[in-house]
Structure 1
């Protein structure tokens, strides 16, 4: 049986109809404040309501997944035993890199939270090209416009050789949350736990970021995941694009937090 990520296409996955889709152009001010473009979509799963800024980009434009692919890389790695568990350490190769958190031995949870490219490149090499390709084909990952075909097993998510839309990303995290992917529950549990970045009395915020460059040289940032308030999940996907010198790490998080705040989140009232 072939499992496929069904792109939400304006939240068809959740059973929304046209009346349940809210195109909110006011969210654009958070992007414009940083002189960047992008899109944001959020699905209220309980009410099957979808709020989106820049619908055409959300639905129809595909970009390299960058480090958001660590979600899938982790799932495949754990399922195939290449990642034994969240505590599995891959020793540092001794190569000094600009991101200091990468310059040490890391376990999976640390590598996920630090978004360590070297760790996950080694995981991909251990999985192997053929096995990785079979899983991508089975999942239908990044296949909205063409097959996600691997060229180099430890770099294909970074070099623009595969591309994914924001609604495919949202569909992925929604299926992950509800254990609707073709992985064992242990596998999905480990990855879901790794995605939790903030947890307090008001909310749980779980996500994976991504950072890369588009084919035209622009900086691209992703944040995909969910926010849970009062045990109710809301799924989101956001990408941001700007000039190559954009401070994307700061910009993307500022946009996410201000967007969520505008929509009423982060206070525990949803």
Structure 2
């Protein structure tokens, strides 16, 4: 039933994008262009059933590698299949020194998720296995809008441009996760949602997962997907960015753009 509800929501999302419930606010693009990037921002107000989009066409049609946003799905499948017991499960460091110092140590799932450790989640994907992972991607319909997501390399398919996600697919995934509409046990979703909570104060709760990868032509691709809660009311968002400028600091820029847009829309002050 939860999977059916998720499919129903996806249909509603696609239908809503062609209705009067969508407000296109091109002015929001100023936050993206200020960082020398192109991209799109989308927000879904669950209570009103309405969208705010910086670019309607980009929201529906632009598709890029999911990069580390796939850690959300990887974690869900790992927990559901028992390859990890909970977010305290540790995968030992393999001894290979990598460019991110935080990755070069034994990490729990919670910590690996928070520092977005690529090797940790590559090992989790290998433990899940190609056949099991493919079955789950098919069940979730992950990346289906641009054709069935087919796994070629189990520990890099979300990084090598072999599968792609659109912003509307990413936003739909976040809403289904929040409302327990995915085909996983409630406990599984709760653990992943807890790992996504990055800021929690008296005004708002901000939950998200970032992603950063390289497109086929060498452009830098950035994502932030998640939700912001004010007065116990969730708003779901997706930010997709692209830059050909090698000097752009994507990790810093994507969060700056997200918070700039959210503040422009009146969030993060506890007044929603």
Query: TM-score if structure 1 supplies the norm length?
Result: 0.96
CA contact (8 A) 2:36 2:245 kept: no
Report the Cα offset of residue 19 of structure 1: 2.1
Counterpart residue number, 1:248: 250
Matched, 1:70 2:67: no
Match of 2:75, SS state, is: helix
Deviations 1:21-40 (A, max 9, x none): 11001101001111110000
Alignment coverage as a number of residue pairs: 269
Query: How many Å separate the matches in 2 of 1:6 and 1:252?
Result: 31
Matched, 1:191 2:195: no
Structure 1 stretches lacking a partner, 5+ long: none
Deviations, residues 198-218 of structure 1 (Å, cap 9, x unaligned): 100100000000000111110
CA distance in 2, matches of 1:224, 1:174: 10
Q: Who is 1:41 aligned against?
A: 42
Distance 1:45 1:17 in 2: 17
Tell me what 2:121 maps to.
120
Report SS of the residue matched to 1:98: coil
RMSD between superposed Cα atoms in Å: 1.7
1:244–1:104 Cα change, 3 Å:
farther
Q: How far does residue 244 in structure 1 lie from its aligned partner after superposition?
A: 4.9
Match of 2:269 in 1: 267
2:136 aligns to what? Answer: 135
Distance 1:31 1:173 in 2: 22
Q: 1:21 to 1:77 in 2, by over 3 A?
A: same
Q: Provide the C-alpha distance between the structure 2 equivalents of 1:52 and 1:198, rounded to a whole number of angstroms.
A: 24
Query: Equivalents in 1 of 2:17, 2:165: separation in Å?
Result: 22
Instruction: Flag structure 2 segments of 5+ consecutive residues without an equivalent.
Output: none
Distance 1:32 1:16 in 2: 24
Give, in angstroms, the shift of residue 176 of structure 1: 0.2
Q: Is the 8 Å Cα contact of residues 62 and 166 (structure 1) preserved in structure 2?
A: yes
Quote the Cα distance in structure 2 between the aligned partners of 1:206 and 1:6: 24
Whole-angstrom CA distance in 1 between matches of 2:236 and 2:10: 11
Following superposition, the deviation at residue 73 of structure 1 comes to 0.2
> Following the alignment from structure 1 to structure 2, what is the Cα–Cα distance between the partners of residues 33 and 120?
33
Aligned to 1:166: 167
Query: Residue 120 of structure 1: SS of its match in structure 2?
Result: helix
Distance 1:147 1:216, change over 3 A: same
